[in-house]
Amino acid sequence: MVTLGTETGRAPILRPMQSTVATAEPSGVEPTSQVVLEARDLNVYYGDFRAVQDVNLDCHKGQITALIGPSGCGKTTVLRCFNRMNDLIASARIEGSVTYHGIDLYGPQADAGEVRRRIGMVFQKPNPFPKSVYDNVAFGPRVNGERDKKRLDEIVERSLRGAALWDEVKDRLDASGLGLSGGQQQRLCIARTIAVDPEVVLMDEPCSALDPIATARIEDLMQEIKQQYTIVIVTHNMQQAARVSDRTAFFTTEVNPESDRRTGRLVEIDDTRKIFSNPSDSRTEAYVSGKFG
Amino acid sequence: MSTVEVVREAARISLADTTSRARRGRDAVFLGALWLSLLVAIVTLATLVTSTLVTGIGSLDLRLVSSFPSPFAADAGLQSALFGSLWVTITSGVVSLVVALGTAIYLEEFADPRSRIQRLVTVNIQTLAGVPSIVYGILGLAFFVRKPFDWGFTVGAAAATLTMMVLPLMIVASREALKAVPPSLREGAYALGATRWQTVRKQVLPAAVPGIATGSILGVSRALGESAPLILLGALAYVSYNPTSFASDFTVLPLLIFKWSTEVQVEFRALAAAAIIVLLAMLLALNLVAIVIRDRSRISW
């Protein structure tokens, strides 16, 4: 079993040996697939407002899970629960459980820093640090204790290659990351994320600020790296979800009698082909066929 | 007119200015008012600087810096005041920068913004930033010069008092600088497993340096030009030796200028003007430092 506790110190990242968590998926999933992230009866509140209600969701190893749905349906909120980024919002709190290989992400043995090292995140707007390309990628390993220059060089090169950016930036590793184009900046952020060798990469609408060519490159990249990293992606672009993901979760909003505001709910999660061709719920069908949203 | 011509006529598009005369007039009036405000500021400053330069340039020589204050205009210089100003300003600047940075980082990056204590502290600091400097002088006299600290009329007491005066300004400025750092930068660092302190030290602080430098140097400039509280703290006009420790007697440039300009002999007025030039040069140098720091560490988002 893996632990997320601080007591693991700087030990090399432990890969889970096996998972005993059974998958409870009805269709489209191989029985052997392993659940990495699991949300059970997840409710997220901002102050008194319930943003997300009763979400049950599994993400499987080596797969791309897409979260789709109209604006305000809570997909980003759910995504940010998976690496405790909501901790940074003072008014946010959660009910229910989110587990990583069966370990409660919000439990006493889980340290937020360790959680985020294993479950990385790429943001909607590329947010490179105002530092050199090299320092951007080396930041993660450095804050996690890597000091050796040679090892850092290796990590930087491997991560930039992994993010399909190496050939474009190898001659200007000392140039500012902010001088790159938008698509390059986003791939730099992906390189930065995989530099700490996470098991999961969360992506929050990673292509929404990019042009179609840059988007295609990121989508190709996702396919290349999904063997190594379990990916969860939030996207507004249904075609993108259909193109890249193995499984798709459809969220919608419902007026909440508690607050008159709209609360996000998960409608269904299933094999992507099924969601886009023959969904179980009529709301999903209406959304994916473009009838609303 | 043929049909073709009619159609052409109708299709003719004009880009000529159709702004009404009244609208254009209002535009001109507004622009004129802006120019006038600018003129007032520039003329005032220019008059001040020129009259000071004209009066003081004759007395501005090496002797002014190499001699000590004296009751005789022919012998009088400002060395002890210059060193007194440097001692007091540098000490209070360094101490308040360190304390202000700590306070600002805590309040912006660590404290829960919803806590009542945090809000109380914020209001308190903002109020303190507006307190007249003479009040700080009285405070310094009561606490540092007399008991419980009992430091007497010394450099130390003056530096401590000016530190208290400058602190709120620097805290407010540093907080604003930290606030201006985009949240996405923090998120990026946290998402890589960085701790809060690592995020602050390696990403947020470097990005906030330009703002902090500008704000702090404004605070230091204020300390350098301050005279009111120092009158209460016993800055003497005629000190004929430089401070050697925090326990030394001292005087500062603004006070010497004040004393000199109230002397009856005309020669002292020229000396006062020359001392003003020295003080202005120091302020200008400080501002230059701020500009250099800002430009060196500028980040374009």
- Give which of A4, A139, A188, A202 to mutate to test B binding, by max B Cβ within 10 Å: A139
Contact list, A127 vs chain B (CB under 8 Å) = 182, 184-185, 187-188
Q: Give the gap in angstroms from C-alpha A273 to the nearest C-alpha of chain B.
A: 31
Q: Which among B187, B194, B301 is the nearest to A143, CB-wise? A: B194
Q: List the beta strands (DSSP E) in chain B.
A: none
Long-range contacts at A271-275 (CB < 8 A, ≥ 24 apart):
A271/A27, A271/A28, A271/A29, A271/A246, A271/A247, A272/A66, A272/A241, A272/A242, A272/A245, A272/A246, A272/A247, A272/A248, A273/A28, A274/A27, A274/A28, A275/A248, A275/A250
Chain B's closest residue to A84, CA to CA, is: B191
Which ipTM value was assigned to this complex?
A: 0.85
Instruction: Look at residue A10 in the predicted model and tell me its pLDDT.
Output: 41
How many residue pairs bridge chain A and chain B with CB atoms within 8 Å of each other? 72
Q: Are A123 and B184 inside 8 Å of each other by CB?
A: yes
Contact B149, B139 (CB under 8 A): no
Please give chain B's pLDDT, 301 residues, in tens. 667 777 667 667 777 777 788 888 899 999 999 999 999 999 999 999 999 999 888 888 888 888 888 888 888 888 999 999 999 999 999 999 999 999 999 999 998 888 899 899 999 999 999 999 999 999 999 999 998 888 988 999 999 999 999 999 999 999 999 999 999 999 999 999 999 999 999 999 999 998 999 889 989 999 999 888 998 887 776 788 888 888 888 889 999 999 898 888 888 989 999 999 999 999 999 989 888 888 887 665 5
* CA-based nearest residue to B70, from B274, B249, B256, B280: B256
Which residue of A lies nearest to B193 if distances are taken between CA atoms? A113
Mean pLDDT by 10 residues, chain A (293 residues): 49 41 45 84 92 93 93 91 91 93 91 94 94 95 93 96 92 93 94 94 92 90 91 92 94 81 90 92 89 65
Contact A127 B192 (CB under 8 A): no
Mutate to test the interface with B, among A80, A129, A136 (most CBs of B within 10 A): A129
> Nearest CA to CA, how far is A3 from chain B (Å)?
15
Of A90, A116, A129, the CB nearest to B112: A90
Q: Is A125 on the interface with B (CB under 8 A)?
A: yes
Cβ count near B288 (within 10 Å): 11
- Pick B193's closest partner by Cβ from A88, A114, A125: A114
Cβ of B190 and A125 within 8 Å?
no
What is the phi/psi pair of residue A121, to 5°? -145, 140
B169 backbone dihedrals φ, ψ, rounded to 5°: -60, -45
Give the CA radius of gyration of chain A.
19
Q: Do residue A116 and residue B193 have CB atoms under 8 angstroms apart?
A: yes
Q: Do B299 and A130 touch (CB under 8 A)?
A: yes
pTM of the complete model: 0.81
| Cβ pair B185:A114 closer than 8 A | no
What is the predicted pLDDT for the residue at B265? Answer: 86
